[in-house]
């Protein structure tokens, strides 16, 4: 019996890597951990930039990478909104304790949920952050 030759895409067709290959897992992990890296490098000022760059560059690599980058970006926009609310509370002086609680909760949630997302991505699982503003899909 003869074997079928391996599939070759037609000329000009974009390369589509396998959905669960290890480079996709690595990129998905990077998307989830990039906000933590940004927190260290910029005091959290650009935490949304890493996932956005991953989404813009590698969104077509597969559903794992696309979902990881979009979810991390959307969650970090929520983090930004809560942080801004915390600053507004801080400026009013009376609500300084509320501002401190908001910042602490957001900081802990950002670290813990990003690590959970990275661990799920390392297993090839799609992770959806809770409390995210759905901007990217």
The per-residue pLDDT for range 18-68, each reduced to its tens digit, is 544 788 999 999 999 999 998 888 776 788 888 999 999 999 988 999 999
Q: Could you give the angle at the alpha carbon of 113 between the alpha carbons of 62 and 69, nearest 5°? A: 25
Contact yes or no for 53/65 (Cβ under 8 A): no
Residue 9's pLDDT is what? 55
Instruction: Encode burial over 47-62: b for 16+ CB neighbours within 10 A, e otherwise.
Output: bbebbbebbeebbebb
Alpha-carbon distance 60 to 128, whole Å? 18
Average pLDDT over residues 122-137: 88
Residue 45's pLDDT is what? 72
**pTM of the predicted structure, to 2 decimals:** 0.79
């Amino acid at each position: 019996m003869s074997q079928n030759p391996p599939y070759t895409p037609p000329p000009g067709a974009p390369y589509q890597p396998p959905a669960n290959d290890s480079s996709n897992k690595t990129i998905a992990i990077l998307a989830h951990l990039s906000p933590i890296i940004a927190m260290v490098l910029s005091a959290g000022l650009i935490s949304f930039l890493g996932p956005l760059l991953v989404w813009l560059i590698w969104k077509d690599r597969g559903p794992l990478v696309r979902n990881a980058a979009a979810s991390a970006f959307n969650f970090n926009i929520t983090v930004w909104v809560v942080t801004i609310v915390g600053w507004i509370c801080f400026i009013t002086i009376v609500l300084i304790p509320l501002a401190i609680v908001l910042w602490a909760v957001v900081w802990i949630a950002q670290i813990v949920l990003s690590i959970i997302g990275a661990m799920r991505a390392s297993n090839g699982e799609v992770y959806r952050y809770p409390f995210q503003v759905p901007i990217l899909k």
